[in-house]
Amino acid sequence: MTLHEKLTAAAQAHKGTELAGLLQWAALHIQAQGEALDEAREELATEEAERVRLEAALHTAKLAAEAAVRSIGAALMPPIELGRDMVAHINLMAAHGDPDYIKGANSCRHIDTRSTTKPRKAKTAKEGA
């Protein structure tokens, strides 16, 4: 037996008194609150179903966007790693007298970047002036 049924039975037992009126009001109030709760639960279930549907659509859109980005990236050329020419840096640092670049009695560790293999003639004091 539910609370609503118990209140209705008690109201019938005290028919004609103020207690019966109060019990009937309580029964009607509980019934109205139950109907309001049922409507709220139904609305909550509808909103939950809509949320799940939107989440699924968002997930599908995300996957499609990621696939589009991957296909665009696949069409591009892959990056090429180029070597770095450090000769200019080595020669510059040696010319400034950095001890890491000074080699033996020479003033610097110079890297010859000429395309020919002929050695240079050593400069004499007369030629350098």
The answer to whether residues 57 and 92 belong to one domain is no
The answer to whether residues 19 and 54 belong to one domain is yes
pLDDT of residue 42: 95
Is 101 within the bounds of a domain? yes
Interatomic CA distance for residues 110 and 107, integer angstroms: 9
Query: pLDDT tens digits for 30-63?
Result: 888 888 999 999 999 999 999 999 999 999 999 9
Strands annotated E in 13-126: none
The answer to whether residues 42 and 97 belong to one domain is no
Q: Which residue has the higher pLDDT, 60 or 15?
A: 60
The answer to whether residues 65 and 23 belong to one domain is yes
Nearest to 98 by CA among 89, 40, 11, 19: 89
The answer to whether residues 9 and 29 belong to one domain is yes
Residue ranges making up the domain that contains 95: 85-116
Is 32 within the bounds of a domain? yes
The answer to whether residues 35 and 98 belong to one domain is no
The answer to whether residues 56 and 7 belong to one domain is yes
Is 126 within the bounds of a domain? no
Is 122 within the bounds of a domain? no
Q: Which residue has the higher pLDDT, 3 or 115?
A: 3
How many domains does one find in the chain?
A: 2
Mean pLDDT of 3-13: 81
Is 35 within the bounds of a domain? yes
Q: Cα torsion at 25, 27, 32, 33 (round to 10°)?
A: 110
Residue after which a domain boundary falls, among 45, 75, 105 = 75
The answer to whether residues 67 and 89 belong to one domain is no
